[in-house]
Structure 1
Amino acid sequence: MNSLFCRLFAFFCLCSLALNEATGQCTSYAGTMSGLPYQVCGQNVVTVPATIGAVVDPDDVLQYALHTNAGSSLGTIISLNSTPTFSFVPPMGYGTAYYISAIVGNDDGSGNVDQNDPCLSVAAGTSVTFYGGLPTATLSGGGTICQGEIAALTINLTGESPWQVELQLNGSLQPPITVFNNPFSYSVTAPGVYSLGIVVDVNGCTGTTSGSAVVTAVAAPLISNIMVDCGPNNADYTVMFTILGGDPASYSVNPPLGNLSGNVFTSIPFPSGIGYSFEVDDANGCGPTQVAGPAVICDCATQVGTMDPTPIQINDCNQGPAVAIYDNTNEVLDPNDNLGFVLHTNPGVALGTILQTNTLPEFTFDPATMTYGTTYYISALVGNDDGQGGVSILDPCLDVAAGTPVIFNAVPLTISIAPLLFCPGEPIAISILAAGGNPPYTYLWTGPNGWTSTDPNPVLPQVSGIYTVTVTDANLCSTTANFTLAIPTPIVCDLQTDGELSCANPEVNLSFSCTGGVPPYSYQWSNGIFGPNGTLTQPGTYSITIVDANGCSSVESVDVTVSQDECGLIRGKVVEDIDGACLFDAGDQPLGNWMVKATDGSNDFFGLTNADGEYEIFVLPGTYEVEVILPPNGYWASCQAPITAVLVDATDVDTADFALDKLVDCPLLEVDISTPFLRRCFSNNYYVNYCNLGTTAAADAYIEINFDPFILVTGASIPFSGPVNNVYTFEIGDISVGECGNFTIQSTTSCAAALGQTLCAEAHIFPDTICSPPSPTWSGATIQITSECTADSIIFSLQNIGTGDMTAPSNFIVVEDGVMLMNGPQDFQLQTGETLSFSFPANGSTYVLWAEQVAGNPGLSSPLVAVEGCGTNNLGTFSTGFVTQFPENDADPFLSIDCHEVIGSYDPNDKNGFPKGYGEEHLIEAGQELDYHIRFQNTGTDTAFKVVVQDVIAPELDLSTLRPGAANHPYQLDIHNDTLVFIFENILLPDSNVNEPGSHGFVKFRIGQKAGLPLGTTIENEAAIYFDFNDPVVTNTTVHKLGDHFITTPSREVSLPSISWSVFPNPFSDEATFLVTGAEFQAVELSLYDLTGRFIQQQKVVGGMAKVKKGSLSPGLYFYKITVEGVMAGQGKLAVE
């Protein structure tokens, strides 16, 4: 039988198969079945994905078996088929998990697999669960109800509970109902036609619905138009009213003292002086409705006089009173009558709203109930005494005189003055608003020292004191207001500092103490600090803006300088020992850009040699071991052991010179490629730097650059050939030892590229020979990864392209959209030339295959290939943002891979670290080198002649591993203690208004971590960018955190065996329902995460159910996790349309 090493992963089962070609060994292999579980409703047929990677000998048969056991053990075989397609057959049980496995073995003579074949191979099966008949739901009930009452509906169901039922009212979908009982009673109040949409049982099976219910709501009778009519002799009266609503055919009035004609009822005559009462009902049974009235008196002899109809205009400044004229010539009063006057809203004898009452026709304006410019009316009333000496408006014999119109015009009773907010030395503009009266207004201002003004909003003098304004309208009505003006004092700040930057003082602490203005104060520093105190580590000019509570500001400027008074100096020279004498001879070749380190055991200081091989390191007085940082290629050796330098005080200077011998004659070429950014439909320049770090000249050097198909090369600063399969070739020629060069490539990013899509350029410089002797443990094997995107699949291939077989396994992982498709790394072992391939669906996910290189392999290769944008997901898009989470396979100096996500708007001055790391915490592995990419843009109004980028290296990073990289302009690199200083002299960077494409710049460098950093260590870094003599622009802070085993590994297996769940619909556009069944627990929670692992939301699962609403969720793919009592019980994917 084959030697088979197989593990079951969350989404794919990837098996590593080691084939032994020796005679008599089994080579049959059933491949890998899908690990995704399937559920089948009713009598439906299920087809699962076919096996992947099966190996079938000429005398073998590949079949699929439906069987009872999990894993590679068949148990009882229920049925066989040539395809993975099966249906439910008795005596199978509903709700039981069965398995579909591929099996490979000898033909038994009937076309089936011989179950007794000693080389029989069985793939771990795909789980399939069949559920019984589809659920049904039938609706009945309804009927006629009175408005506001409840109607009962009944739903009868079949299938397994609980069910999810959709209810519809008049064809409109209502919120879904979760049903646990059968039959189920449901109460409604809204009238209409009820029907059922879909029914889904606990297994997620959708069934059929039937039936309907009609609910009709009726109302009690309504009464309107009640009228009382006195008889001709005032001895009796009749009542008349109109009936509305209800059932007109069955109206009834009780007592039946009158005539009902249609919907109008007229009573019999009732004696004057008594009241009336009736009940109105109909056959609907929702009544009765009461109709009643007080005693009616019909012997009315009362008569009111008349009001003068001439309108009254009140234009004085005292709001009245308005006095109307009443003529009592025709007035008739009974002994129990009174005469009164009212101010009301309606013309004629209809009162409307009564605003005021009086015994005289005199009224004043009330701003609480009245408005200026509105017409009101003064009327006389005659009627019975209301018991308080007034007139009862309920008297049926009340008589009203048509009113006298009256209008009250507005007056300027108030003046509003806007609060004064001003700063010392600024004009004091005041704003005033006068309202009411009769415009136009006039103004008179008075103030201290005889100041006056007639402007509505004058500019006040800078004099404290009391100011008064008088406003007069066209009717000569006036009002006055005043306020006190206090002139604030200017903000004055005192600065305290603890000295200058120096070797002894790597940071300066500054503190501001301010007075004047209006406390409290806010402080904003030009480098992003907030507050009165700041700690600075870089020289330069800083501005601090202080703002008080009134918004008044003062700007202070601070110059931070570096003092060398406390520093001693170690200087020297680094040369190539041409004659091998380890002496500094006249013919020795100076070595530029070599790093020299001085350490006292606690602190490290670095210097960089210039083109003449000279360096300087400023240090504190003390004893130092000085050494040259040799490249890790083993090509060079120092003639001198570390040299001891002693500085007694700050004025001392010591010398440490180094001669280097080459150990091998071999060039070592380094290349770096980068671009500031990629914007679709825009031109983007790529910048390529190269150097010879070896010990001898490189002959006929050339660089091959492979561009993404979406990057269109339009030109270059040097000749090139190609493309051939998107690869361009640039001939460089001979490169001397220590020689560096650069060139520029013009390109355009395709408009077809998607925002967020990752596009890469890979540069490879030749010759790329490694002359260091290989490790004696190296087997000669070399692992290479390739990928291919087809119409429906992504195919990864692991190949041994070396000269020897692998003598021990290496491992690999496959990651889909940031989620590992297995429960840990998987082993593989290949003979020379052998290939191991894997196929995944082209579903728009980003797939990454990362493999371990063979132990002892020369160079620094760590094979990794990422594929983005192969196929699309169910939304017609593909995932982005995952490629740059992982490191590029370009640790060897002769390789450089530069990947950028296509952007829209962006911050022109920023810093990015690559790889950007996994998830929100930007997790990376310990020891991972980081590429930092710093971008800058001149957004000023003039050309920038000099740009300086200062980067304080995080203490967790090792400066001795620094590798300066590409930039789009020549630069000089200085190292000041822990600070990198990139100096772009005479850069002549145009401002963005004149030349936007030319206003951009960038610089790139690579640096490693210090050894032994613990997991959880956070690495933060930012840069300060100086344009000429302006304040620095401080970039964002990049963050990385050291982690281990941090890539998510989802599992559809249930940690608690009695727990199961289903989600429907999935994908969803409005709402998805989760049903969790099993044992009762105290706490079940559902959590949602996006594809980067960022937490989105969490909710409790109540009664075995939770609902996820689309709400603010963007369309796309999400991960969910179900926990029971804090223990992970299951997880999966949820798609939002």
Structure 2
Amino acid sequence: SVLDVPVVIGMIYTCTATAIPTGNCSDFRQAVVNVIETPEITEITAFPDTVLCSNDTLILCGQNGVAGIDFDYTWTTPNGTLVTGTASGNEIFCDTFAPVGDYGSGTYTLVISNQGCLDMASIDITVNQAPEISPIIGNTEFCEGGSATLELWNNNPLVDSFTVVCTLPDGTVVTQPGNGTDTIIVNVDQPGVFCCKFVTPDGCESEESCVTLTVIQLPTPEVPDTIELCDSEILELTGTANGSALDTINYTWTGPGGFIFTGTAPASGPFPATDPTPETGLYCLVLSTMGNSGITCESDSACTMVIVHPTPVIDGIDGGGEFCENQDVTLTATVTIADGSDMSYEWTLNGMTIDTGTVASGETLTLAASAAGEYCLIVTSDFGCADTACTNVSFLTAPDLLEVTGGGEYCEGESVELSGMGTPGPGTVTYTWTGPNGFIFTGTAPNGGPYTAVRNNLTLDDSGLYFLDVALDNGCPADTTLAVEVIVNPVPVVDSTIGDGQYCEGELVTFGYSIDVHGADTTYYNVTGPGFDTSGVITGDTVLLFETTISPATAGTYTLSMITSDSCESLLAFVVLSIREIDPAV
């Protein structure tokens, strides 16, 4: 059987059993009973409040009302997180939940246990979601007069709406609404520290996010108001600047006709540029620099008005050059100017003024040049733009022929070298040799010669007078023409040979030569061969015949040589006689 005994204190309990009805038989047993005290939660406290933002820190504290005991405790958060600890007696024990948003909004339950004897209590905590601010991104450098465009956003998707509160570098506070995780764009035109935070309608705030903004200051360019120049001149642009802490700076000039020039210079200038083909219009200077972040800033432009005046144009001077003595020379030049205005002109000879006046655009000026030298025409506009053209006039003395050489007697086939000499003078000359049988040769040489020509492979028809004519390059001829006589003497020719071949030994052979004396009056001949030598004279075309008996002593080459009474030698002619080889009888 089971006996229920109320236990109120810890002690030794004895149980005795007696037999009924005799009552004489009995037995007993003893049991030791320990009584464990149950802890009692007397208080749960939340700091700083029971309504918090998700990024706040919650401190929960509890207290046991039973003194003298040690116990374990466990906090259970709304999201199921368990936080455990130990404590003694009735001391207050506390735990931190940070940030409280990680543990949830709702009931926080505390269970304390003394060896299995429990007590439990709870507290309700309301957690409002706080926005989570992103880093502020964007270019933290901006140009003077501009602004920095910055972006930031809320990283907590549980927050639907909030107020963006930003503090400008000068301390001014500005606000704007924010929604969910949408990107927020802020433009700031002040250098310094710029900070923002998000605040919900419940009063929950994000941390503050800050950046330091830097303004890039550029100097102000300064340029002349006006520049005037001629269109034949090179435009020299320049500018200066004040008020910059930069060491160097980039600059750009722009102007009419697509002109652009970019350079780098000290921040205070100068900022030079040149335009070789300037046009009337505004030429503007802009300064620029690149910040550390890569942003490029440009100054306001400063412009100078460039006025380009037209320059007169001389379309060359016609009529200059080399002329014969006492020849009339007239120089002409047509002048124009783009604006059609009148111009002044000046003719000079070797730097000395010889004529002046006024000329209209498109008019042709003329000048009689009677002296040798450099003639220059200078035409100037009202503004002072000028064009200059020059030409030289020289008068050449006609060449003077002194002698010619190369005449005499020659043999057919030879060459004759003709030459002439004159008094040395200025310039070059053109000379021409002409002669019989259509001969003509033209060449150039220094004034005074030599004036040479060669006629090769002379024929009988090339005999006659050869004339030399000399003229300056401009056509001024020499006063005289000289000539030499060339006589070409004939050279006899062997038209054919007779008897060339093989013969039987002992055979009598006739050999010879058919001769054309080409008109030579007297020709001397000589025939030589093996054991043979004979000479003679012929006075006209003929056939020379000779006999010899073929033998080993007479076989060989027979050579004919001829020379005229004018000492013209013919080419050698040959007859070869040889012994025929006889095959032995079979």
TM norm. shorter chain > 0.5: no
TM-score, normalization by structure 1: 0.22
TM-score by length of 2: 0.39
Structure with greater strand percent: 2
Structure with the greater relative contact order (CA < 8 A, sep ≥ 6): 1 or 2?
Answer: 2
Larger radius of gyration: 2
